[in-house]
Structure 1
Amino acid sequence: MKMILSPAKNLRTFELPGAVTSLPVFEAKTAELADILKAMTEDDFKAAMQLSDQLAALNRDRFAAFRFDTDGTPALLAYDGQQYKALAAETFTPEDWQYANAHLRILDALYGVLKPLDSIYPYRLEMKNKILKEQSLYAFWGDLLYREITEENDFPIVNLASGEYGKAVEKHLKSPDEMITCTFKVMKNGEPKTHSTQSKQARGLMAGWIIRNRAESAEALRDFDGDGYHLDEVLSSDSELVFVKDLPTQVIF
């Protein structure tokens, strides 16, 4: 079984004592993108990346210093968005890290595919950013992400990524590949609704739950019950597991 996650916009530096980090698998492709971004003028960079002056300056500096080495932050600790806060990798045991590194992959616009212990540095790049003249970043990566995720035939793929990133793998699936997408909804006025923040948090919670419980099968996924969620048998199918919970009183919809 392989889980796939989206990256997060916000990144941090974090030291994991005793960690044996690795280098990302697509170093040459990543370096190609980094070189393109380094060569952009300030105005072109800001426009392509859709950033404020402050964030554009910060990320131009980041790409100017871009490098590959094993002194960075493990990828699973580097991302600092809602799903990663909920996943809480900083609480992992060594055994959790071993399982995560074998069974979890992060899909990424700059790095392609990352293992949890791959060493990275803060940056900003999204799949939607138009930094290439003749093609999108989806076209740049082609089926490489799919091939990397599936090379070990470790099915099913558990899709805990957003639509923006999940489709980079999903559109290349072929028989007999198996992908199970996990969807999370909150009940509002008796109807299941999608809430962006709640969904991000739930994807992280479920990834952490799978890792800590060493889940190894599609059937085991159905037992997820984090943060009040439960499987909705009616809404679910063989390719999609839909989990629902009551809308928290403090959440504004």
Structure 2
Amino acid sequence: MELAAFLPGRARSVTVVGSTPAPLVQFGPEIGSAMRKLFESKGVQFKLQAKLVSLIGENGRVTHAVLGDGSQLVAETILVGIGVVPATAFLKDSGIEMNPQGFVKVDATMKTNVDDVYAAGDIVTFPMAALELDNVNIQHWQMAHKHGNVAGAAIAGIAKPIDTVPFFWTMVFGKSIRYTGYGGGHDDVVIHGIVDDLQFVAYYLKKGKVIAVASMGRDPVCAVFAQIFIARKPVTKADIESNPNDDWTSWLSA
């Protein structure tokens, strides 16, 4: 989506093909729909709930992209985001514990189940005490950076269990979405503000407690919430409803 935001004005046309019903659907359908409107207002077209099945070309250059319904898009350049899988097959039969997807399981100091063997970065699942989660995998540079810090300390004989939460952002057309926490498995969303105006805070809850927050045009809510998570100060749905202005700074000193 960042590439799609960069290309208008640099390419004759830009079309995003995706399998989901809305772009950035991990933020929820309402936010995804608002983001689609933003992109379309800048000339980006969408083919959603669609699948790219093949490419057609001539003289070594692509000319068309073929979708699952048989339709074709004229194309001179194809950018494909297909995801990744952990390159850990070489660890098979090593005795190092991995889950069925090939991710290496580590403890809060990045230690594997094998003495003196540590792992860090995108290939690991690790406990996130601040959000009371076990065996999470978060493929983001911030987490890998912290993993290295924690693993290095442990190898040097200094136990410094990981104590951080994810915080990331994306910038498109001069608009920034901020996000903190880990919203996997949320069962409720409370939104303050007006999503279509790209001025909102979205609280993702699980069993009545906030586990992640996304915001747009409402700084510094996410930055403050990252500190709330680290401080282990639970925020409930009732707390959100009693704080319509989304001012959480005082929560840290409460």
Higher strand share: 2
- Structure 1 or 2, whichever has the larger Rg, is 2
TM-score bracket for this pair, using the shorter chain length: under 0.3
What TM-score do you get using the length of structure 1 for normalisation? 0.26
Q: If the length of structure 2 is used for normalisation, what is the TM-score?
A: 0.26
Normalized per residue, the structure richer in helix is 1
